[in-house]
Amino acid sequence: MYDVIVCGAGIEGSWIARQVAAEGKRILLLEQFSLPHGHGSSAGKSRIIRCSYDKLNYARMMPEAFKMWTELEKEQAANLLVRCPLVTISNKERLKQLSTNLSFLSISHEHITAAEVSDRFPGLKSPNRNGVVELSAGVMKADKCLNAVQASFASLGGVLHDCEKVLHVQPISESHIKVMTNAATYDCKCVILACGPWINKVLEPLDLNIPIKVTQINSMYWKAKNPQVYKPENGFPVIICDSDLGFHFYSTPVLEYPEHMKVSCHFKMEVDPDNRGSFLTKAKFSEERIKKIREDLIKHHFPDLIPELSIVEHCIQTETPDNDFVIDHHPKHENIIIAGGFSGHGYKLAPVVGKIVCSLALGRKPEYPVNKFALSRFNNASRL
């Protein structure tokens, strides 16, 4: 019998499993697809890593997350993080909140006026809005990060089975659960469900459905006229921008594709993760309107990018109504733990999520408050 089985080997499930393995427990990590794959929320080559958060509870988790990622780099002799500044461009109220949180955590940052943006960062313009610069943020090499966590898990004695889809989770007692897959049936003391977009498909037979939306997003790459301007080694930052044009976008420097920079403005559409050929909701704008919005953003903010979309990659996110995580015990089964709804900002925090969920699984009080992640906050979390 396993001490713990983790269902889902994305970045959250892999870090959870790694933390449990580090405790010397007998653990199995199950993944429905052949690894590596691009079907879930952990797909892609890059993520932003930052301490700049509007919500203090997440900001407080980031210093330890940074530390744990750096330790993983050393352990696996892998280059996982590319350090560069982060510029957040937004309204006065949001910038004040970010600065307050960064100051509380003693994170180095600076205020920058709209007029100073292009002087400080050639290739970027912000005609009407100021910014906050977090000096030591960066880009995560997401695919390499996931590989490194799984390698660390294996080195600690953890067992990983891919191509095994969880078909049913059957609680037997407070210390015994059966997990049935397409390949075998396993026994364990505790199950952790880190199933990403598939979380409700596993929970529904357990009389639970949580209010999440599964959405498809597009990562978009634009060719640079002068790529040197946009390289992180030359000081170009990652950017989070609430544009004065009325839309939100984020960007990472030239890194993944030669001469191309990622600048993404999302118009999210709900999908079934098992049937992405058609959307479950109608688009707010026409395709032509969306194309124009994106091109206008490039023209307005990035004078050295060609305003013609070059490369598009797809990813899916699992979003809660308040964009906060779900980390909690099943209301009827204490030895079933749910870790989901990471709402597009869980990747960088995965090491700390791993520690929190590991503590819950082993009956310890987590080092961080988890009340804001509780299922009870949803009035419409149904028990079927």
pLDDT at 382: 56
Q: Residue 4 phi/psi, 5° resolution?
A: -140, 140
pLDDT tens, residue by residue, 16-32: 999 999 999 999 999 99
pLDDT at 304: 97
pLDDT tens, residue by residue, 15-74: 999 999 999 999 999 999 999 998 889 988 999 999 999 999 999 999 999 999 999 999
Percent pLDDT > 90 in the chain is 89
- The class that CATH gives domain 85-136+214-319 is alpha beta
DSSP 8-class letter at 102: H
State how far the Cα of 150 lies from the Cα of 142, in Å rounded to an integer.
13
**Residue of 198, 209, 138 lying closest to 318 (CA atoms):** 198
pLDDT at 354: 99
Contact 239, 251 (CB under 8 A): yes
| Whether the predicted pLDDT of 381 surpasses 70 | no
Where in the chain are the domains? 2-42+144-210+321-378, 85-136+214-319
> Average per-residue pLDDT in the chain?
95
Average pLDDT over residues 147-156: 98
Homologous superfamily (CATH) of 2-42+144-210+321-378 is FAD/NAD(P)-binding domain (3.50.50.60)
Can you tell me whether residue 294 is helix, strand or coil? helix
- Token representation of residue 172: 């037997």
| Whether the predicted pLDDT of 140 surpasses 50 | yes
Ranges of beta strands (E only) in the chain are 2-7, 27-30, 46-49, 81-89, 109-112, 131-141, 159-161, 166-173, 176-181, 185-193, 213-224, 238-242, 248-252, 260-264, 269-270, 305-319, 326-329, 336-340
Q: How far is CA 47 from CA 120, 142, 177, in A?
A: 23, 6, 35
Evaluate if pTM is beyond 0.85: yes
| Whether the predicted pLDDT of 383 surpasses 60 | no
State how far the Cα of 348 lies from the Cα of 142, in Å rounded to an integer.
9
Can you tell me whether residue 363 is helix, strand or coil? coil
The yes-or-no answer to whether 2-42+144-210+321-378 and 85-136+214-319 have a common fold is no
Contact 136, 87 (CB under 8 A): no
Using pLDDT thresholds of 50, 70 and 90, give the confidence band for residue 384: very low
Q: Which amino acid, one-letter code, is at 341? A: G
pLDDT at 245: 85
